[in-house]
Structure 1
């Protein structure tokens, strides 16, 4: 499992725990908005952590999570986005 998959899984699980939702609850809530999932498929997706951004947004929406604080990930995101090497430029 990649480090990012693990972070996505922990993010979703922590938001569910904060709000008191189980995977079974999540199945029912997703079904209410027309997203057909089974408990087994939810268990598998969350266990792997390699779910789509669409699935993450659907889950966060149905559990009532409308705002995220991802401060703990910001420094790691910057390290991935910014290279330590100088960019090569062409001289005109």
Structure 2
């Protein structure tokens, strides 16, 4: 996987979960503030938008969003680093960051369904 693909994946993980929960950057920042992360809404938006932020911020975002696991194999599933699968994804879902958001949302929905079934 090349570096840019990694940034897109990181961005997609955070944005996908924000979209799933319908969380704005302002709300994400408020949650981060509660655990001691100090930043501005614009800085947070820029960091996530670029996909370039520390591993600590990534983990803190996952924590405040309530994410308890992510599937690393999604990198291979999306074809990052391989031109042909990326072109297929772009045609089907748009730019990679949008595609990842869709994939993440679908995966989370499937996990939620499995969780609901196991509780009944």
Give your verdict on TM over 0.5: yes
**CA distance, structure 1, for counterparts of residue 37 and residue 49 of structure 2:** 19
Q: Which has the higher helix share?
A: 2
Q: Based on CA coordinates, which of the two structures has the bigger radius of gyration? A: 1
> TM-score, with normalisation over the residues of structure 1?
0.74
With the length of structure 2 as denominator, give the TM-score of the two structures.
0.58
Structure 1 unpaired stretches of 5+: 78-92
Unaligned segments of structure 2, at least 5 residues: 81-120
The Cα RMSD (Å) is: 2.1
Q: Which moved more, 1:53-62 or 1:1-10?
A: 1-10
Distance 1:72 1:29 in 2: 26
SS in 1 for 2:12: helix
Which fold has the larger relative contact order, with Cα–Cα distance below 8 Å and residues 6 or more apart in sequence?
Answer: 2
